[in-house]
Amino acid sequence: MQFGVLGPLAVRDGAGEPVKVPEAKVRALLADLLVHEGRLVSADRLIDDLWGDAPPGNPANALQSKVSQLRRALGRDRVVHQPPGYRLRLDAAAGDEVDADRFRALVEEARRAPDPRSRADALGQALALWRGPAYADLADEEFVRAAADRLAEQRLAVVEEQAEARLEAGDHTLLTGELADLVAQHPLRERLRAVQVRALYLAGRQSEALASYAALRKQLSDELGLDPGPELATLHEAILRQDPSLSRRPPTTSP
């Protein structure tokens, strides 16, 4: 069975066919169990996550009803009762029943690639698992927020890593266009900005590279009272000198 959290919650059986998980509260229960990655979740915690300040008259029975519905969808052995609560049984032998785990495994494998082009392509395969924001259809649920934010950060870090690999492989012209929207969405991420600045410079757009750096420096100063980090400042100085080393492997900026 495959569980998808890198986008709207999705379940597929062993043959790859969609498994219907009915009713919003049952889907929320599954999401809560997935957030805990196979660990035990107490019944009290599940009740609080599912109903918050408006629990049903008999919360324990209501939870048991949702568990029964989820078991009918997934199979009884998948939702394990273990006092004081429940856990989702994941197949340790398969190792990748959850797409978030497959994503992380593919990223680790990509980092062992022998050259930047292969690394960029392999990271692209990992990123292709994403179908939208993590837990997209449950974004309003407080209990998924931390996990969704953590996954979003992992995704963005891999996007940055792939961009660095593509830059090293010579894709600077394509990257200048592709990174513009991403930088606009995350204007204070220095690693992302460093890739964009370097790509602009290598594409022969030095004035735009310097303007991008200046925009970051102003925003950091205005909003946080900070200056760009040393890696980005070093890149800025190298551009001003038109340092020949800029055409070689880019310096890595910390996320």
- CATH number of residue 245's parent domain: 1.25.40.10
Residues 111 and 14 in one domain: yes
CATH of the domain at 141: 1.10.10.10
Residues 99 and 3 in one domain: yes
Q: Which helix (H) or strand (E) holds 146?
A: helix 142-168
Domain count for the chain:
2
Averaged pLDDT for residues 158-168: 96
Signed CA dihedral, 239, 245, 247, 249: sign only:
negative
Residues of the domain holding 241: 170-255
Among residues of the chain, what percentage have pLDDT more than 90?
91
Q: State the first-to-last Cα distance of the chain, in angstroms, to the nearest integer.
A: 34
**160 lies in some domain:** no
**pLDDT tier for residue 248 given thresholds of 50, 70 and 90:** low
Q: Which amino acid is at 120?
A: A
Which of 82-96, 114-128, 185-199, 200-214 is predicted least confidently?
82-96
The answer to pTM > 0.85 is: yes
Residues 177 and 113 in one domain: no
Residues 198 and 246 in one domain: yes
Q: Which amino acid is at 36?
A: H
Residues 58 and 99 in one domain: yes
Give the model's pLDDT for residue 91.
83
Mean pLDDT of the chain: 93
Contacts 24+ apart (CB under 8 A), 63-68: 63/29, 66/23, 66/25, 66/26, 66/29, 67/29
**149 lies in some domain:** yes
